[in-house]
Amino acid sequence: MYILDYKNECMNLPIDLDKVDEITITILSGDEVIDILYLDGSSDHYDSNNERITSYYDGSYIPYSIRKGIDYYEVWLERKDSHDGMEIIETIVKALRGLK
């Protein structure tokens, strides 16, 4: 698994999806920030850029959640840009709701 910064440079993360309950992505000034909640109740927080001077909130989304029945993880991994992930999830959700 990886997250992207505003320059779309990857930060690899050692995540075992079999132990994950929910993944939440927040985009701050183009940088992906990930919060992971594990099945045992523990959590991790990773920021793709720890040198950001100002954090502008660009949005957030959940690509994976066992509790909420969300599994867009494989499609989400195909993103090439930090903002692509949000667009991918929005497109999937709209399609599932029958919207265009």
Q: Please tell me the predicted confidence (pLDDT) of residue 95.
A: 83
DSSP-derived pairing of the beta strands 57-65 and 43-47: unpaired
* CB 37 within 8 Å of CB 22: yes
Residue 56 pLDDT > 80 = yes
Q: What is the rounded end-to-end Cα distance, in angstroms, of the chain? A: 30
pTM of the predicted model, to two decimals?
Answer: 0.87
Evaluate whether 7 touches 48 at the Cβ level (below 8 Å). no
pLDDT (tens digit per residue) in 34-51: 999 999 999 999 999 989
Q: Picking from 17-21, 39-43, 62-66, 74-78, which range would have the lowest pLDDT averaged per residue?
A: 74-78
Nearest to 6 by CA among 34, 46, 48, 36: 48
- Domain map (residue ranges) of the chain: 2-96
